[in-house]
Amino acid sequence: MSKFLDWLDNRSGIRGLVKEALYEKVPGGARWRYVWGSCLTFAFFTQVVTGTLLWMSYSPSAQTAWESVYFIQYEIWGGWFLRGVHHYMAQAMIVLLVLHLMQVMIDGAYRAPRELNFWFGIALMGVTLALSLTGYLLPWDQKGFWATAVATNLIAEVPLIGPMLQKIVVGGVEYGHQTITRFFALHAGILPAALIGLVVGHIYLFRKHGIHVKEPRPKKDSYFWPDQILKDGVACLAVLLAVVILTLYFKGAPLGPPADPSNEFPARPEWYFLFLFQLLKYVPAFWGAVIIPIALGLLIFIQPFIGSSRKGHQFNIGFWWCLLAGSAGLTFLAFSEDRENLNHGAAVREAEWQAERVVEIAQEDGIPPTGAVTLLRQDRENRGRRIFAAQCSSCHRYNGHDGRGYLVEDDQSAPELAGFASVDWTTKLLNYDHYISPEYFGGTAFKEGTMAKKVLKKFDAEETKLLPQVALLLSDLAKLPYQEPLSEEKRERLMDVFYDDLACIDCHDIDSEGEGSAPDLTGYGTRKWMIDFINNPEHERFYGKKNDRMPAYGRDKKLSTEEIEIVVDWIRSTPADL
Amino acid sequence: MSDPKAKKSLSDDSCCQDGKSRRLVIASTIGVSAACALFPFAAGLTSILDPVVRNSGSTAKVPWTRVTSVINLPDDGKPAKFEIILAEVKDAWTTYKNVPVGAVYISRKGDEVIAFNLKCPHLGCAVDYRSKTNDYFCPCHNSTFGLDGSVTDANSPSPRGLDTMHTKIEDKFVWIRFQQYRPNIAEKIPLS
Ligand code: HEM
Ligand code: FES
């Protein structure tokens, strides 16, 4: 063995190299405060390895980016873990950058003769942020798509060449294939190469000037190997542990629904860019994207010279603390504004629902070559929610919202339709207090109608007690997929209540030829009944001339037959949330 | 590597040739090396710049798209949101047929329809119509717009009002020429 090493050393000089690398003197002994640079190197190393492994399954194009990430996340053995490590290590890198930078500032390690290396460090920070920004788009989900569109619109703020530059980065005017291929080339090629080049220079310069020792020195001088390396290794292990815990806790990185330019989503960047996002609420984009960054950049550039005096050094440290505190404050504001905004919460929850739904369909039916976005666009459940929100929710509600989860600002003026015709729903319908409340007919002309004033209100205690039985009968007629049908005898008995005890038959029909003055209840709440009703509520079978404002969606071609069927199926598919 | 003689000869002009031709040799060396180093970048330059020269179409080519029948619009001026589905959309090597590309808010007063692109002219988020305040609101950086599309709140970061689309009514249908504009400048310049 040693003979082989002798030979190798003779031909390559490897011993000298290793010695040079490991026996760097650490004046004042190994210390925890020096670990951040090593942690960052380790984090970057992890990103290169996990990123390259992700690359083996990732396919950059508008029809395959989300789909391949879906495959990594849900199909590949342990793929979610690999992706999770890449995702959370990217965030850990941002935290480590801040720690490294603050240590350098506080210890004064940025000053002469290390100015050059300070600039290398700042450049490294920029490249790392660029890697995070470009990586955010790669899964091609709603979040990344909308947020990055805002980010690339900011490029146009650069004077003169801005719009041209934006086209080069985006690969055209609209987001598409060329945006992904270009972002991916940046993310996995150009930027990592730049980062490696800068790291080599950074470490070379670090070795040239040696470690900057924070006085007073706590211990005797020692060497990089093994004392400092042990500390560095332990710190890297802690970083690794944190990343693994985050990955396991969140079951990997999130994957939103596939990007869809026609399905708007409120753009929010990753948390470490939120301060910039918030800043744009207060300053013009030109200031936020050009002037302030350039001004701060210039100031940071000359900080090694400012820092040559004691006062200057203190100013520099104060500057960074202020910058950090300002960013933290803006980030906090961004979070709290979103938390207070009910619509934002609804948009996030809808995206979560869509993400779950599209994965469900993909796992059941597979993804067609046109991509996963068509799965959601064609999904009857998703379409049902959207048609309800667009057409029905200005008067009706679904679990109190618009069907998609958003609050409706207009007052409710037609019945709640979640769990329509279920036993709970009909029981409340036949209760006078509920009947005249906005939840049912309180907002309609029927509040003052015969059913309210002359029937429900006039029933005596005995009769009122029988109403839940009629409700049971009515609900049974609907044949809802989630309810058990009544037994034949039970139905007969309830029919008796309908016919004789309460004499509902005087106005409403069930299974008879007669023309009652109130809606025909034959097949009430069935798929067919609902389709016919939505088609034309003014039909004689239903409200006739007494129809309040409900449009005749089918007759007037406001909705196609298919669309009506979709909403009906969606309403009938699930009971109301309680 | 650390041979002192080698170092000397590099800086010593008088070694083998006279100073002038020596400088020429150095200049040529630098030139040749630079050409070799830059060549691969030059080879790819046009590909990188392709999106700049590729004009995806002027405004004249924007097609009229049928959006909705007029009766679907309440005639009290309350806006409703509609998807824009284009017959054909090209994205690099893919041609899509009948795909949604965006959305508009359309409102009607009698025979007059007005349509706004959903995209906020600030940085491109989608604006919401708020019925309580009867205006449009962008949930990204809080721009607000009136029903006529103009910026209403002085604190709005948007430099111009919502982008109106060309509209016409034909056969009881609303037709729109769906167009995107350059974000965040006061002028309305079509993106192409
Ligand atoms: C050679 C180095 C790298 C390669 C080859 C690489 C490759 C990739 C690939 C293929 C993806 C898409 C997969 C997915 O989204 O799950 C991705 C995503 C991402 N990358 Fe990298 N990457 C590298 C370095 C980095 C570095 C240094 C950072 C950050 C500082 C970073 C941050 C990200 C982020 C934030 C994402 C989004 C992940 C997510 O979906 O949550 N990457 N990368
Ligand atoms: S994108 Fe609308 S306010 Fe910024």
What residue ranges do the domains of chain B occupy?
1-55, 63-177
Q: What percent of chain A shows pLDDT beyond 70?
A: 99
| Per-residue pLDDT at B10 exceeds 60 | no
Set of chain B residues whose Cβ sits within 8 Å of the Cβ of A549? none
Q: What is the pLDDT of residue B55?
A: 66
Residue B45: strand pairing partners: none
> Which CATH topology does A2-262 take?
Cytochrome Bc1 Complex; Chain C (1.20.810)
Residue with CA nearest ligand 2 atom 3: B141
Other residues' Cβ atoms within 10 Å of the Cβ of residue B122: 26
Residue with CA nearest ligand 2 atom 4: B141
CA nearest to A117, candidates A201, A192, A41, A34: A201
- In angstroms, how far is CA A50 from the centroid of its own chain? 23
Assign B60 a pLDDT band (cuts: 50, 70, 90): low
| A549 vs B: CB within 8 A | no
| Cβ A187 vs Cβ A135: under 8 Å | yes
| Per-residue pLDDT at A540 exceeds 90 | no
Q: What are phi and psi of B170, to 5 degrees?
A: -140, 135
Out of B84, B132, B141, the one facing A280 most closely (by C-beta) is: B141
Q: What whole-number distance in Å separates Cα of residue A379 and Cα of residue A395?
A: 25
Q: What are phi and psi of B181, to 5 degrees?
A: -125, 160
Interface test mutation site (partner B, options A64, A161, A174, max chain B beta carbons within 10 A): A174
What residue ranges do the domains of chain A occupy?
2-262, 416-573
Q: How far is CA B152 from CA A44, A103, A286, B157, B181, in A?
A: 47, 47, 21, 11, 20
Q: What is the pTM of this model?
A: 0.90
| Per-residue pLDDT at A186 exceeds 60 | yes
Angle at A89 between CA A88 and CA A90, to 5 degrees: 85
Angle at A475 between CA A471 and CA A478, to 5 degrees: 155
Segment holding A250, helix H or strand E: none
Question: Is the model more confident about A536 or about A409?
Answer: A536
Set of chain A residues whose Cβ sits within 8 Å of the Cβ of B100? 260-262, 377
| Per-residue pLDDT at A515 exceeds 70 | no
Q: How far is CA B120 from CA A558, A572, B138, B149, B185, in A?
A: 28, 37, 7, 10, 12
Among B117, B140, B145, B182, which residue has the most ligand 2 atoms within 8 Å of its CB, making it the best to mutate?
B140
* Averaged pLDDT for residues A531-545: 89
Task: Give the distance (Å) from ligand 1 centre to CA of residue A322.
Answer: 30
Q: What is the pLDDT of residue A530?
A: 95
- Name the region of A109 (left: φ>0; alpha: ψ -120 to 50; beta: rest): alpha
The two structure tokens encoding residue A512: 């008879």
Tell the CATH superfamily of the B63-177 domain: Rieske [2Fe-2S] iron-sulphur domain (2.102.10.10)
User: Would you give the DSSP letter of residue A401?
Assistant: B
The two structure tokens encoding residue A105: 């500032």
HSE (side-chain half, CA atoms, 13 Å) at A329: 7
| Per-residue pLDDT at A382 exceeds 70 | yes
| Per-residue pLDDT at B59 exceeds 80 | no
Highest mean pLDDT pick, A136-140, A467-471, B102-106: A136-140
Set of chain B residues whose Cβ sits within 8 Å of the Cβ of A149? 123-124
| Per-residue pLDDT at A152 exceeds 50 | yes
Set of chain B residues whose Cβ sits within 8 Å of the Cβ of A387? none
Q: What whole-number distance in Å separates Cα of residue A489 and Cα of residue A494?
A: 9
- In angstroms, how far is CA B72 from the centroid of its own chain? 31
| Per-residue pLDDT at A153 exceeds 80 | yes
Q: What is the pLDDT of residue B148?
A: 94
Q: What is the pLDDT of residue A363?
A: 97
Q: How far is CA A38 from CA A30, A45, A212, A320, A518, in A?
A: 13, 10, 15, 22, 80
| Torsion sign, CA atoms A550, A552, A554, A559 | negative
Burial grade of A340 (CB within 10 A; 0-12, 13-18, 19 or more): exposed
| Per-residue pLDDT at B1 exceeds 50 | no
Own/partner pairs, A340-347, CB within 8 angstroms, 24+ separation: A341/B139, A342/A407, A343/A406, A343/A407, A343/B128, A343/B139, A344/A266, A344/B139, A346/A401, A346/A404, A346/A405, A346/A406, A346/A407, A347/A265, A347/A266, A347/A406, A347/B139
Distance from CA of A554 to the nearest CA of B (A): 12
**ipTM of this model?**
0.86
Answer yes or no: do B123 and A280 touch at CB < 8 A: yes
| A160 vs B: CB within 8 A | no
Highest mean pLDDT pick, A81-95, A457-471, B74-88: A81-95
Segment holding A487, helix H or strand E: none
Question: Is the model more confident about A243 or about A509?
Answer: A243
Q: What whole-number distance in Å separates Cα of residue A185 and Cα of residue A189?
A: 5
Task: Give the distance (Å) from ligand 1 centre to CA of residue B99.
Answer: 30
Q: For all residues of chain B together, what is the average pLDDT?
A: 87
Q: What percent of chain B shows pLDDT beyond 90?
A: 65
Which chain B residue has the Cα nearest residue A369? B94
| Per-residue pLDDT at A399 exceeds 90 | yes
Question: What radius of gyration, in Å, describes the C-alpha atoms of chain A?
Answer: 34
Assign A42 a pLDDT band (cuts: 50, 70, 90): very high
The owner of tokens 């309460």 is A502
| Cβ A46 vs Cβ A87: under 8 Å | no
